[in-house]
A = this chain, B = another copy of it.
Amino acid sequence: MCFWLGCHFTDSRVRVSGASQTLTHPEESDPARKNKTRQDMSSSLCFPSPTREDLAHFVGLPLGALPTPCAIVQESTVRRNCRRLVEVARDLGVGFRPHVKTHKTTEITRLQLEGLQSRNVIVSTVREAEALEPLVREGVVAGILYGLPLPPSAVPALRALRRRNPGVDVAVLLDHPAQIPAVEEGEAPWSVFVKVDNGYHRAGLPPDSSELRNLLDVVAAKESEGALKLVGFYSHAGHSYGSTTQARSLQLLLEELHAVLVAARVLGDNERELVLSVGATPTALAAASSEWREHELLKHGKWSLELHAGVYTLLDLQQLATRPAELGLADVALTIMAEVVSVYPERDEVLVALGSTALGREPPPKDSIYPGWGTVTAWKEGQQWDGCAKSGWIVSRISQEHAVLARHGEQQAVELKVGAKVRVWPQHACIAGNGHGWYFVTDGEKVTDVWVRWRGW
């Protein structure tokens, strides 16, 4: 029984008309499943993954012996990346709420929370929230924010998650009054952030709009009935992924701060405690700049600033392009490994068995110093990992399961032969990881661990 469908059993408002005769709970028909909770079944049946034990035989292998395509994470780099934002927040004395959507793993979630006082994270799917439950039971995660306006059909699953874990603070984002009915029937009031559109125009309401004022009126009414609890305002500067300078990222951070401040002031209650949550990897990293340390939000008594970000954990070419003076290839923790299947001297190109199913397909930012769908590293089988040397090849064209490499740059390109393994820095870590069931973790030359990604929605 998928947990998805389990929703239909627990929430009578979800219509399953005409189908009830086909629903048989698998625990009734399969004794071996009786000991499993529905929660287990969500992952084990609909979106099964290998266990760490299933993959344990890969541990110890040299990277060149791995099956390809595969995703490799440099452990020391991801640790350093995670520490970077914890330190930015600590230096500023502000909060930090990491997002788990980039990696979708238990292990990197732990690294993101290391050194943080708060134990709050952000998810972008119900599946991510459910996958965090072991960390909730361990006490590692205390709060889970569903980081985009909530699909009404996701509420029964999140309500069930709250029931299974009474201590957990499941917070939701609202930006339309029609989203409220879905969360007002809980056993205890849900924590609510109101989503502010800071110019990215994906989700949220403009801070000075009549729509925002109207939503806040409805939220206030529901709050007075005890149906929900307004925690604060939330914005996400997704358009900062297209920034190409630190100055531009800082400007977008200031625009984010302005947006949540304007929104908070609509409440007309300066003394109310509120969390104002802003960020995206480029703007969250820009918070380390000294230029804005006199910002009024840092000096407000009741309102607390919180940064949030997700891609910072693994980083990628797109993120490097937003902060070229500060981040370099050695900061990218994720590479995708592939095999060379042919070489075409007459057109100076190389074919690799690596398509958009394993690398993703995200174009480079305009005028990026990293063109193509990815940059090929200079790593060679059996050689030590340098972490920042390029091969002189980029991924210039991409199909479903294959890609063409072309030369790029001044340097002499590394010679590539049929059967050689190459490693590619992807443009976008969140998208590149998505095709993979797990990450091979390494300290440089051999697999030291295997981190299984959460699948599904």
Interface residues, chain A, with chain B CB atoms under 8 Å away: 1-2, 4-5, 7-8, 14-19, 21-24, 26, 45-50, 54-62, 64-65, 67-69, 101, 124-125, 148-154, 175-176, 178-179, 182, 201-203, 205-206, 209, 211, 238, 339, 341-347, 349, 351, 353, 356-358, 360-362, 381, 397, 399-402, 404, 417-419, 430-431, 434-435, 437, 446, 455-457
Task: Given A175-B342, A342-B175, verify A65-B24 contact (CB < 8 Å).
Answer: no
- Taking the full assembly, how many copies of this chain does it contain? 2
Task: Given A203-B351, A404-B201, verify A176-B101 contact (CB < 8 Å).
Answer: no
Q: How far is the CB of A6 from chain B (nearest CB, A)?
A: 10
Q: Which residues of B contact A4 (CB under 8 A)?
A: 67
Asked if B178 contacts A434 (CB within 8 A), the reply is no
Asked if A404 contacts B202 (CB within 8 A), the reply is yes
* A446 and B16 alpha carbons, distance in the complex (Å): 11
Asked if A419 contacts B178 (CB within 8 A), the reply is yes
Q: Which residues of B contact A61 (CB under 8 A)?
A: 16, 19, 22
Q: Which residues of B contact A345 (CB under 8 A)?
A: 211
Asked if A18 contacts B60 (CB within 8 A), the reply is yes
Q: Which residues of B contact A153 (CB under 8 A)?
A: 67-68, 339, 419
Asked if B48 contacts A49 (CB within 8 A), the reply is yes
Q: Mind listing 23 A-B residue pairs with CB under 8 Å? A: A2-B57, A2-B67, A4-B67, A5-B58, A5-B67, A16-B61, A16-B62, A17-B62, A18-B60, A19-B62, A19-B446, A21-B60, A22-B56, A22-B61, A23-B57, A26-B54, A101-B400, A175-B342, A182-B419, A203-B342, A203-B351, A211-B344, A356-B361
* A153 and B417 alpha carbons, distance in the complex (Å): 13
Asked if B430 contacts A456 (CB within 8 A), the reply is no
Q: Which residues of B contact A178 (CB under 8 A)?
A: 343, 417-419
Partner of A151, one of B64, B238, B339, B446: B339
Chain A facing B: main interface SS = loop
Q: Which residues of B contact A341 (CB under 8 A)?
A: 148-152, 179, 203
Q: Which residues of B contact A55 (CB under 8 A)?
A: 2, 45-46
By CB atoms of chain B within 10 A, which of A101, A342, A356 has the most? A342
* A4 and B70 alpha carbons, distance in the complex (Å): 11
* A7 and B57 alpha carbons, distance in the complex (Å): 13
Q: Which residues of B contact A56 (CB under 8 A)?
A: 22
* A19 and B56 alpha carbons, distance in the complex (Å): 12
* A419 and B125 alpha carbons, distance in the complex (Å): 15
Q: Which residues of B contact A202 (CB under 8 A)?
A: 351, 397, 399, 402, 404
By CB atoms of chain B within 10 A, which of A124, A341, A346 has the most? A341
Task: Given A62-B17, A419-B151, verify A346-B206 contact (CB < 8 Å).
Answer: yes
Q: Which residues of B contact A50 (CB under 8 A)?
A: 45-48
Task: Given A21-B60, A148-B353, A149-B341, verify A67-B401 contact (CB < 8 Å).
Answer: no
Q: How far is the CB of A190 from chain B (nearest CB, A)?
A: 16
Q: Closest B residue to A152 by CB, please name it.
A: B419
Asked if A400 contacts B1 (CB within 8 A), the reply is no
Asked if B342 contacts A431 (CB within 8 A), the reply is no
Q: How far is the CB of A24 from chain B (nearest CB, A)?
A: 6
* A15 and B382 alpha carbons, distance in the complex (Å): 10
* A67 and B2 alpha carbons, distance in the complex (Å): 10
Q: Which residues of B contact A343 (CB under 8 A)?
A: 176, 178
Q: Which residues of B contact A349 (CB under 8 A)?
A: 201
Asked if A342 contacts B457 (CB within 8 A), the reply is no
Q: Which residues of B contact A339 (CB under 8 A)?
A: 151-153
